[in-house]
Amino acid sequence: QKEVEQDPGPLSVPEGAIVSLNCTYSNSAFQYFMWYRQYSRKGPELLMYTYSSGNKEDGRFTAQVDKSSKYISLFIRDSQPSDSATYLCAVMDSSYKLIFGSGTRLLVRP
């Protein structure tokens, strides 16, 4: 079993839709959780960073962590074609190394 599981997609939605991206992880000791956005042929860009369970909002993006279920989510409101990218979740292990999911490709259709 992979330590971080993420549906590869692709996920195709119309412009303006609410997008839900999800990851599960296996180790309850993980404490730091991140979402990165990666455009084609570019490096990942940090979108959201959370430490504890609950929600964190930044503009159209909301990150949610449920430690009891070992489940993390990223919600994108009012999705735009410019949001089309691959979204990577990542967790930080006890030695502060990042473990990444395989990424979900998102396509927002105009």
Q: Which two three-digit tokens encode residue 81?
A: 């074609």
Query: Is the CB of 29 or the CB of 110 nearer to other proteins?
Result: 29
98 touching other proteins, by CB under 8 A? yes
Would you tell me how many other CB atoms lie within 10 Å of the CB of residue 43? 7
Among 21, 24, 44, 76, binds other proteins (CB under 8 A): 44
β-pairing, 11-14 with 104-109? parallel
Q: Which of residues 20-39 bind other proteins (CB under 8 A)?
A: 31-32, 34, 36
Among 22, 62, 73, 102, binds other proteins (CB under 8 A): 102
Q: How distant, in Å, are the alpha carbons of 4, 30, 41, 60 from that of 63?
A: 16, 16, 25, 10
Among 1, 28, 29, 43, binds other proteins (CB under 8 A): 43
Q: From 52-60, 63-71, 74-82, 95-103, give the range in contact with other proteins by CB under 8 A.
A: 95-103
Beta strands in the chain (DSSP E): 4-6, 11-14, 19-25, 32-38, 45-50, 54-58, 61-66, 71-76, 85-92, 98-100, 104-109
Binding footprint of other proteins on the chain (CB under 8 A): 4, 6, 8, 31-32, 34, 36, 41-46, 49, 51, 88, 92, 96-103
